[in-house]
Structure 1
């Protein structure tokens, strides 16, 4: 079976896990967590990292700490994984979904500007904006950060798919007041399951750690003055993360190499268009994605099903949030671009363990349909 993006683990990872196990630090926190947080801060050009049990939990904590709650509105890209919008629902706020721009597939800054201006005319404002660095490519932060500063809207960066990417020389994870990372099994680095927040605000980092450990007060007994959450990463999984992140550059290079190969091997086929790499961006190409014109000799579904019949995993791009039944009542700003990408878009196997022979087989099978 050729999977879309399987975990990339090595003997070094096994050694790191055994080191943590042999240290006796089996309980949730320990020296590996502290060291991994420092590694994450360095990788994202931040001052502080907070290792957590998931990226979704990180988004939840970020919104909670900003005071976002019931009756509030948060701008969220429609073209994303559900976790981004779920975190908004966790705090009782409403996601207002924003379409993407064709030039990057990321949230459209023009639509953000329109939304902020319209809210200002109504003497309202959005309580936060969450950007998503889609499929490993950073959003247009020059424009987005300026808009957030102009309208005084807190910016949260969802960089779950983009660790190792850059935007105009700045690292993914370095934008906004705080950024969330994911180390799920299909991500560029994995801790089996896990995530993190990275920030430059020391007080906020301490607050995230406090909330993530059930908001336990510093007392000999178990004292709680507010509701907390069980979101901290274990010492053993942090050891795996430290080993994985030391290999980040190779993993990104390998995925970019896959993307180059797919473009060179499939770019001449009629109706095939790859996700653009926007100017100033260096994407990780966490997943190589492309669209297939419905009038091409083979459409998206024919390609996907043919590959599936050969035990080659391929998936449609994210189904936009404004099309999801659970968010049917939410407001959506635009939507035509993300709808077209969902209709025609496909993700190809892109993991850093994918071999040259496997990707050649994938290309040959796709070309056989044209």
Structure 2
């Protein structure tokens, strides 16, 4: 293993204002769960996203769990979901006792294929089991085609839940990621384009939806001088200190999007003309935030596999990662139905997520490129 400093896949990058907000929170002694920074973060995010009502929560998974609860998802329900995603997009479906059914991606965007979604909706409606909801993931910072999905769902009365955990700062037809569904979940985990160290947010156009979500996230405590509970809630609220970090990060977001996109372009310029190397396409309907730069490697043409490259980088203390393993291939979901599958299976087989930190130096980048090219040796 190399003794050089580790290059991480997507490390946090502070913008400079975070500490000021944290110090303000300390000075006010709002250290415990709620406080003015939480309200401020919710208001700031609403202004950024154009989604007027926001509840700051402990994680993106928590946001999706509350969304499932709010939509009345229950045991025996069918919920359609993207197959090419992180398990946190899907596990909240199972928390409610519902059954996930997985939909493949399309080649053009790597996101949920609207045609396969329509096939699934028609099949389940014919069986008398209209899906209770659809959870679509914005993959690697690129919005799914919300309007195409909605055209299928709206005529069947099926709500669209947008998992925008990876797409903060991205746009779809000029509007911010997540705007256009029944609700949207966002993540501010430590590896995201902006971070609160750990945290998430649920956003919706419906004020009552978010008011009740906040209440559920605070153990569903009734208004009383003692602790009174008529429903089961959750301990899912974001803390005031975490929200303070988030307020500083939101200020830096436009610059982080610019930097992520510039880094993607730099990778394409350095590697895109090599045989067997391709990169994640950008949909014509929006602008991706390029949270992670993802390339596809054809082993036969490049003379090295994605795993060979990953291991070569790892030996030099550089983190990279395979594309998400599709949910329909996961052992825990082996009994679940899926529509299609070949597209996301091929992306998993050939895909590699490259180091995408916005504070990466030119020397770091050059080192990564040299190692990737070195995997093919003089065969390219």
User: How many angstroms does 1:122 deviate by?
Assistant: 2.2
Aligned pairs for 1:31-70 within 5 A: 31-70=36-75
User: How many angstroms does 1:113 deviate by?
Assistant: 0.7
Secondary structure at the aligned position of 1:368 is classed as helix
List runs of 5+ in structure 1 lacking aligned partners: none
Match of 1:153 among 155, 158, 161: 158
Q: Which residue of the partner structure matches residue 340 of structure 2?
A: 334
Secondary structure at the aligned position of 1:246 is classed as helix
Secondary structure at the aligned position of 2:375 is classed as coil
- Rounded to whole Å, the distance in 2 between the matches of 1:218 and 1:61 is 20
Match of 2:107 among 94, 98, 102: 102
Match of 1:352 among 323, 343, 358: 358
User: How many angstroms does 1:97 deviate by?
Assistant: 0.6
User: How many angstroms does 1:10 deviate by?
Assistant: 4.3
Secondary structure at the aligned position of 1:337 is classed as helix
Q: Determine if the alignment matches structure 1 residue 8 to structure 2 residue 13.
A: yes
Q: Determine if the alignment matches structure 1 residue 162 to structure 2 residue 173.
A: no
- Rounded to whole Å, the distance in 1 between the matches of 2:15 and 2:160 is 36
- Rounded to whole Å, the distance in 2 between the matches of 1:27 and 1:314 is 36
Aligned pairs for 1:178-197 within 5 A: 178-197=183-202
Deviations 1:236-265 (CA, angstroms, capped at 9, x unpaired): 111110010111000011000010000011
Task: Give yes or no for contact 1:40–1:198 (8 Å, CA) kept in 2.
Answer: no
Q: Which residue of the partner structure matches residue 82 of structure 2?
A: 77
Q: CA RMSD in A?
A: 0.9
Match of 1:244 among 249, 254, 267: 249
Task: Give yes or no for contact 1:44–1:198 (8 Å, CA) kept in 2.
Answer: no
Q: Determine if the alignment matches structure 1 residue 320 to structure 2 residue 320.
A: no
Q: Which residue of the partner structure matches residue 308 of structure 1?
A: 314
Segments of 4+ moved more than 3 angstroms: none
Secondary structure at the aligned position of 1:117 is classed as helix
- Rounded to whole Å, the distance in 2 between the matches of 1:247 and 1:45 is 18
Q: Which moved more, 1:6-15 or 1:291-300?
A: 6-15
User: How many angstroms does 1:17 deviate by?
Assistant: 1.1
- Rounded to whole Å, the distance in 2 between the matches of 1:16 and 1:360 is 36
User: How many angstroms does 1:141 deviate by?
Assistant: 1.2
